[in-house]
Structure 1
Amino acid sequence: MGASAVAGPPVTSARRIAGLALPALVVLAAEPLYVLVDTVVVGHLGGLPLAALAVGGTVLTLIAWLGTVLAYGTTGRSARRFGAGDRAAAVAEGVQASWLAGAVGLIVALAMQVAAGPLARTLVGSDGEVADAAAQWLRVAVLGAPGLLLAAAGNGWLRGIQDTRRPLWFVLGPNLLSALLCPLLVYPAGLGLVGSAVANALAQTLGGGLFVAALVAERVALRPRPQVIRQQLVLGRDLLIRGVAFQASFLSAIAVAARFGVAAVGAHQIVVQLWFFTVLLLDALAIAAQALVGAALGAGDAAGARALARRLGLLGGLCGLAFAVLSTVGAGLVPTLFSSDPQVREQAAAIWPWFVVIQPIGGVVFALDGVLIGAGDVRYLRNLAVLAALGGFLPAVWLSYAFDLGLGGIWAGLTLFVAIRLVALLLRLRSGRWAVTGPG
């Protein structure tokens, strides 16, 4: 198979970018929407089950984060081989990623049968009832971990070969089934909180099975190749360290916000969750960047990859600017939708300008993150994330606490964190050292 493997609209066309980004957006949004449905269903059982779901769901979110790391690494590697005209090799990356996903998922599922109780008690503290309920939910829900991670690997290689239709249905179908099963298992079937966990595990397992079936249908060799898996682990390690830097920064921010009082932590939670929502939307553009840039470099088209990077950076900035305009217009209304407490609203209003300013900067940063992940330049991204966290975000957060600067200091730190990454990414983009061609 030759260059015709990537035939279609030019890779720099807006239609091509949208064709990858929009289905990816639906896939990204499916899981949070299901969690919202799950929360509504369990919420009617009472405060204790809802608290248990919050604790167990937090742990499951961390497992899903491992899947995101796996998917991002697989997309770039698969896209390079697809761009080089070797579709079979691109799919083969998915085979090895799936072996890795299945093994990790199985280990997590088994380990959590023992660790769920101690972990829940650590997170909850002295409330034994909530901890026991959370552990019970987690032990069942985590049985879907192999399927969850297999689906992540499947998303990775299918995005790499620029197939966005199948992931859309493979994710939406199981999530819709789970959303229908959840209330039935919780209420008429009488399983209560455990019914939610069963629905979750079934959906994840079904989703993983659909991606595995798609892999088998490709008729490529399915045996594990330890050398390729080791290479994927190195890539995943760098992305994981990058993610840990992010997690440490945001956990520190919420810890310091809590020290400024209930109103402050409430306001921070509202605005940071709105920020995470915009990040989710902009991540769809980053996924398109991973697939398109990886394919261009795999095809030996360094000039096309650089043109793509410029266009994607511009699109990211424009999307971020649009969010900034919407945030400015909604400044007086949006916080009132989340809280009726005047002190919370006052605190939210104080940090709202930071929320507006950060959005166009973040739009460019997320798009260029996707460009460098697609190029396989993840070591640079790892080092940059650690540098921006240790040299910007974390010092600002803890100085805010030391000098009682309030939420403004925390959000100044977040803005500095994103701005440092913007400058470094633009310098990297200009250097051209990331645009290494070839199948990998």
Structure 2
Amino acid sequence: MTDQYKRILVLATPLIISNLTVPLLGAVDTAVMGHLPDPAYIGGVAVGSTIFSFLFWGFGFLKMGTVGFTAQSFGAENKDEQQASLLRPLVLSIMLGCLLILFQAPLLKLCVDLIDGSEQVRTLSLDYSYIRIWSAPVTLANYAVIGWLIGKGEPRLTFLLQVLINTVNILLDLLFVIELGWGVEGVALATVIAEAVGLIAGIWFILKRSHFLEQKIKWGNVLEASHIRSLFTVNRDIFIRTLCLIFSFAYFTRVGANLGDSTLAANAILMQFMYFSAYGLDGFAHAAEITTGYAKGKKDNTEFRNVVKASSFMALLTSVVFSLIFYLSGSMIIGLFTDINSVKEIAHNYLPWVILMPMISVTSFQLDGIFIGTTQTKELRNAMIQCLIIFLGSCWIFVPLWGNHGLWFSMSIYMAARGLTLLRYYPALARSIG
């Protein structure tokens, strides 16, 4: 078992660090807006970011499905499938990204109308969105590239790529917003440029560091009908699961928007705490994806159970660490995000919810990784549909009673339900390996 813990730690550590650069980017976006004079700026970026979470993470299967198929192809030592597991989602991602650009006008207006908010927030979010949409093809292609690198078990390359994308984004944020005063448009343009830089670097990593072209690409295998059907079956289930997930966060933002611009801004700041813990815990979930996918490819049940135990135990310890950090430094962190007193006061009132959230949600992240790595996506889909119903029902009951506390209580119920619903399916999954 000791070897399994070491293996998980070697895989998870660079993935955790690289994952944490993603919410760090969101934190910088929020912080540069939070030091402008009106909370509507934070709200505008929060709504715009939610829109693209919905649009882009709706296609998160391009990453998650790629991880599972890639890990299994390397576990089975199938070189043809190792190439094809990248090329299939890469072509699909570029096509989907171009479609998003083509239909941007009605799509973005619909999204802003659904989330709602004040007129100023709506205007700022559209200003952001009409620039950010141009990153669609490269952002989705990056999902496929990062998914392939994770599935191959290349945490260092994944780390370098994520750090590059988010470092470029953060530096351009500071240049465009603080130095040049471009506001929400500068935040959006920074993201577009950073994603393009990331795709170029990701393809270079793969071509130079992973022996991707050491044998000729067999396009017949890449485009083989049964493999395409498997890709779409897995991706369909993950797509539905991801839509439910992002809809829940979009609904959370919508309800917060109806409680006022200051509450919307405070919730946007508190969500950064959640994103930090989620992306950190996702490092162990990604490690679980890689190792359980390998175990399934090798049909080794003992290895499967060992890596599940090791990754889950280490994730649980990490969740406690996140909660302690938020408890000890939460007030200071809120102050870094904004100097608007009304927003800071509201954020402090609801801080206890995000202190508890890492320990509430850790089970859901781990089981997500296990089910994605073994491509058992039907169960992921069904569990998330159940959780969305639970979340909406909780909001309808508790928000009218307790306002924003009811909204955060509903989010806590939702995150706990994500773990409990998947836990019901786990015993059957564990028996099926081997």
Category of TM-score, reference length = shorter chain: 0.7 to 0.9
Taking the aligned partners of 1:58 and 1:412, their CA distance within structure 2 comes to 20
Decide whether aligned partners of structure 1 residues 128 and 252 sit closer, same or farther in structure 2, where only a CA change above 3 A counts.
Answer: closer
Report the counterpart of residue 397 of structure 1 in structure 2. 395
Letter in 2 for 1:155: I
Deviations 1:118-151 (A, max 9, x none): 65566567748963x6545433332221111111
Decide whether aligned partners of structure 1 residues 265 and 63 sit closer, same or farther in structure 2, where only a CA change above 3 A counts.
Answer: closer
Letter in 2 for 1:245: C
User: Which of 137, 141, 152 is residue 132 of structure 2 equivalent to?
Assistant: 141
Contact 2:315–2:362 (CA under 8 A) maintained in structure 1: yes
Decide whether aligned partners of structure 1 residues 51 and 324 sit closer, same or farther in structure 2, where only a CA change above 3 A counts.
Answer: closer
Report the counterpart of residue 85 of structure 1 in structure 2. 77
Report the counterpart of residue 4 of structure 1 in structure 2. none
User: Which of 218, 221, 237 is residue 217 of structure 2 equivalent to?
Assistant: 221
| Cα offset, 1:282, TM superposition | 0.7
Decide whether aligned partners of structure 1 residues 86 and 397 sit closer, same or farther in structure 2, where only a CA change above 3 A counts.
Answer: same
Report the counterpart of residue 230 of structure 1 in structure 2. 229
SS where residue 13 of structure 1 aligns? helix
Taking the aligned partners of 1:187 and 1:356, their CA distance within structure 2 comes to 31
Decide whether aligned partners of structure 1 residues 93 and 362 sit closer, same or farther in structure 2, where only a CA change above 3 A counts.
Answer: same
Deviations 1:210-269 (A, max 9, x none): 333445551151745163343222212212222233334344445556667788767655
Letter in 2 for 1:221: I
User: Which of 193, 200, 203 is residue 191 of structure 2 equivalent to?
Assistant: 200
2:54 counterpart of 1:62 = yes
Taking the aligned partners of 2:252 and 2:283, their CA distance within structure 1 comes to 26
Contact 1:137–1:194 (CA under 8 A) maintained in structure 2: yes
TM-score (norm 1): 0.80
Decide whether aligned partners of structure 1 residues 108 and 27 sit closer, same or farther in structure 2, where only a CA change above 3 A counts.
Answer: farther
| Cα offset, 1:293, TM superposition | 0.6
SS where residue 376 of structure 1 aligns? coil
| Cα offset, 1:185, TM superposition | 5.6
Report the counterpart of residue 426 of structure 2 in structure 1. 429
Decide whether aligned partners of structure 1 residues 190 and 434 sit closer, same or farther in structure 2, where only a CA change above 3 A counts.
Answer: same
Where in structure 1 are there 5+ consecutive unaligned residues?
1-9
Letter in 1 for 2:280: L
Instruction: Give the aligned CA root-mean-square deviation in angstroms.
Output: 3.8
Taking the aligned partners of 1:260 and 1:107, their CA distance within structure 2 comes to 34
Report the counterpart of residue 103 of structure 2 in structure 1. 111
Taking the aligned partners of 1:193 and 1:252, their CA distance within structure 2 comes to 22
TM-score (norm 2): 0.81
Decide whether aligned partners of structure 1 residues 32 and 407 sit closer, same or farther in structure 2, where only a CA change above 3 A counts.
Answer: closer
Decide whether aligned partners of structure 1 residues 381 and 174 sit closer, same or farther in structure 2, where only a CA change above 3 A counts.
Answer: closer
Letter in 2 for 1:387: Q
| Cα offset, 1:30, TM superposition | 2.8
Taking the aligned partners of 1:58 and 1:306, their CA distance within structure 2 comes to 36
Decide whether aligned partners of structure 1 residues 322 and 37 sit closer, same or farther in structure 2, where only a CA change above 3 A counts.
Answer: closer
Report the counterpart of residue 278 of structure 1 in structure 2. 277
| Cα offset, 1:278, TM superposition | 1.2
Contact 2:41–2:121 (CA under 8 A) maintained in structure 1: no
Taking the aligned partners of 2:130 and 2:260, their CA distance within structure 1 comes to 34
User: Which of 163, 187, 192 is residue 172 of structure 1 equivalent to?
Assistant: 163
Letter in 2 for 1:318: L
User: Which of 95, 98, 102 is residue 90 of structure 2 equivalent to?
Assistant: 98
Contact 2:94–2:138 (CA under 8 A) maintained in structure 1: yes
User: Which of 11, 24, 39 is residue 15 of structure 2 equivalent to?
Assistant: 24
Contact 2:152–2:290 (CA under 8 A) maintained in structure 1: yes
Taking the aligned partners of 1:44 and 1:334, their CA distance within structure 2 comes to 14
Report the counterpart of residue 163 of structure 1 in structure 2. 154
Contact 1:375–1:435 (CA under 8 A) maintained in structure 2: no
Taking the aligned partners of 1:123 and 1:257, their CA distance within structure 2 comes to 10
Mapping for residues 259-274 of structure 1, pairs under 5 Å: 271-274=270-273
| Cα offset, 1:326, TM superposition | 3.9
Deviations 1:313-362 (A, max 9, x none): 2222222233334445557776677774596367426xx2x555553342
Decide whether aligned partners of structure 1 residues 40 and 357 sit closer, same or farther in structure 2, where only a CA change above 3 A counts.
Answer: closer
SS where residue 103 of structure 2 aligns? helix
Decide whether aligned partners of structure 1 residues 244 and 304 sit closer, same or farther in structure 2, where only a CA change above 3 A counts.
Answer: same
Farther-moved stretch of structure 1 (363-372 vs 10-19): 10-19
Contact 1:285–1:367 (CA under 8 A) maintained in structure 2: yes
Contact 1:30–1:171 (CA under 8 A) maintained in structure 2: yes
Contact 2:53–2:246 (CA under 8 A) maintained in structure 1: no
Mapping for residues 339-358 of structure 1, pairs under 5 Å: 340-341=341-342, 344=346, 347-348=349-350, 352=352, 355-358=354-357
Farther-moved stretch of structure 1 (166-175 vs 293-302): 166-175
Taking the aligned partners of 1:177 and 1:162, their CA distance within structure 2 comes to 25
- State how many pairs are aligned: 422
Report the counterpart of residue 358 of structure 2 in structure 1. 359
Decide whether aligned partners of structure 1 residues 188 and 397 sit closer, same or farther in structure 2, where only a CA change above 3 A counts.
Answer: closer
Letter in 1 for 2:144: A
Taking the aligned partners of 2:33 and 2:148, their CA distance within structure 1 comes to 35
Taking the aligned partners of 1:387 and 1:136, their CA distance within structure 2 comes to 35
Task: Give percent identity, aligned residues only.
Answer: 24
- Structure with the larger RCO, 1 or 2 (CA within 8 Å, 6+ apart): 2
Decide whether aligned partners of structure 1 residues 12 and 68 sit closer, same or farther in structure 2, where only a CA change above 3 A counts.
Answer: farther
